[in-house]
Amino acid sequence: MPLTVRPTLPQDEQFLYQLVYQTMSEQLFAWTWDPNIRDQLLDLQIRAKHGSYAAEYPHANHGIIVWDDEPVGRLIVDRSGEFHVLVDIAILPKYRSAGIGTRIILGLCMEADLVKKKLRLQVSITNPRAAALYKRLGFRVIEDRQVSLEMERAPGDQAQVIAAP
């Protein structure tokens, strides 16, 4: 099945909102919150995250991950500084564990290697599966921020996973 990343378009707004809503709901254990305020609190979190990304990474590229002609996720990458930053990657729950994230991140690693830049990212401590994936792909922890880990992969660092499924 073809896997591509295309630029984000205005008509992607609803898809992106739902994707981030689902992702944040999982990360924040929102199912434990009072249902009467859950949507409002998640909406505030989503808007804050969007504003934070825009302020911290104004030159980042925003893309939609497309698998078999279906939007399945988003990718935000900032290539403007001394290293590349994987700002965010999110994949719809029903498409996880299919190798999509692995393939996308391996592609980013290859791209960073070609331009001889390090690739950095942050991963929430509530997402140990992603942290394990990043470690397998050659990333190492450079800072433990208690709620997240900052990880880095230097050009040429070897991944333990050679090819995605």
22: phi then psi, degrees, rounded to nearest 5: -65, -45
CA atoms within 13 A on the CB side of 75: 24
Regarding beta strands 119-124 and 84-91, do their DSSP bridges make them parallel or antiparallel, or are they unpaired? Answer: parallel
Architecture of domain 3-153: 3-Layer(aba) Sandwich (3.40)
Measured CA to CA, the distance from residue 57 to residue 76 in angstroms comes to: 9
Question: What are the sequence ranges of the domains in the chain?
Answer: 3-153
User: Residue written as tokens 């999982």?
Assistant: 26
* 140-144 sheet: strands from edge to edge: 3-7, 61-67, 70-78, 84-91, 119-124, 148-153, 140-144
How much is the mean pLDDT over the chain?
Answer: 88
| Closest-CA residue to 121 (of 83, 157, 155) | 83
pLDDT of residue 165: 44
Measured CA to CA, the distance from residue 54 to residue 58 in angstroms comes to: 5
pLDDT of residue 127: 87
pLDDT of residue 126: 85
Measured CA to CA, the distance from residue 29 to residue 32 in angstroms comes to: 6
| Closest-CA residue to 86 (of 43, 130, 125) | 130
**Per-10-residue mean pLDDT, the chain, length 165:** 91 88 74 76 83 94 95 97 95 92 94 96 91 93 94 83 46
pLDDT of residue 43: 82
pLDDT of residue 159: 65
pTM, entire model:
0.87
Q: Which residues contact 158 (CB under 8 A, 6 or more apart)?
A: 138
